[in-house]
Amino acid sequence: MGDQHAELDWRDQAIPVSTRFDDPYFSLENGLAETRHVFLAGNDLPARFAPGFHIAELGFGTGLNLLTAWMAWEQAGHTVPLTFTSFEAFPMTADEMARALAAFPEVARYADRLVTAWKEDKTLATLKGINACVILGDARETLAAESFAADAWFLDGFSPAKNPELWDASLMAQVSAHTTSSGTAATYTAAGFVRRNLADAGFSVARVPGFGRKRHMTTCFKAPA
């Protein structure tokens, strides 16, 4: 699967939409604000940031979540790099990534560095200033082989109705197995089967207000065993 790539259409010339999954990569309203609401605030960040903090993500996409977390980390005054591990089965090209990220001038400084590193190596081995790693391939196959434990998860597959494999019970169990005992996870969706899969995987799950027109989203923390 490592040689598969993104198949894109562009809405309003600016927003990438996956034709494989028939879904946009980020909110049509405001991707950066959505990332901050769902994934940062949803994981109680930046308040929980501490040296050695590790974020993991399902669905790297344009890298917007990485850039937003990286900027928040630096703005919080941390000098030791953030660790960020993401999973992606259908990587876009560097040109597509640059085009998508051009909509967010606020993160341009970081986006330029990301796109340069992505051009060289899509695992981000050459990206400086953040311990980033993108693991290419189907997360259902790749996550189980990894040995890290994340402090916070960004669950960012396409909508559960269109991309159910990125939300299934065995993958949510793997997410839980790769989370520290005080770790958290957040996602923009409040789909019932996703919340059930997270609860069955050992998370305490809450439904909280979503971003923009989305009424609800999901946050969870590791329930004591």
**Using the rule CB under 6 A, which residue among 61, 81, 160, 210 binds ligand SAM?**
61
φ, ψ for residue 154, nearest 5 deg = -105, 110
For residue 151, give the H/E element and its range.
Answer: strand 150-155
90 binds ligand SAM (CB under 6 A): yes
Closest CA to 85 of 159, 150, 21, 37: 150
CA–CA dist 2, 22 (Å, integer): 21
Q: Quick one: tokens of 208?
A: 């909280």
Q: How far is the CB of 68 from ligand SAM (least distance, A)?
A: 8
Site size with ligand SAM, rule: CB under 6 A: 23
184 binds ligand SAM (CB under 6 A): no
**Using the rule CB under 6 A, which residue among 80, 165, 177, 181 binds ligand SAM?**
165
Q: How far is the CB of 62 from ligand SAM (least distance, A)?
A: 3
- As to burial, measured by CB atoms within 10 angstroms (0-12 exposed, 13-18 middle, 19+ buried), residue 188 is buried
Contacting range for ligand SAM; rule: CB under 6 A; set: 102-110, 138-146, 201-209, 217-225: 138-146
Q: Quick one: tokens of 185?
A: 């996870």
138 binds ligand SAM (CB under 6 A): yes
**Using the rule CB under 6 A, which residue among 42, 59, 160, 183 binds ligand SAM?**
59
Q: Are 154 and 127 in contact (CB under 8 A)?
A: no
Q: Toward ligand SAM, which CB reaches closer, 22 or 182?
A: 22
Closest CA to 159 of 140, 187, 134, 186: 187
Site string for ligand SAM, 24-43 (x = CB under 6 A): -xx-----------------
Binding site for ligand SAM (CB under 6 A): 6, 25-26, 59-65, 87-90, 138-140, 156-158, 163, 165-166
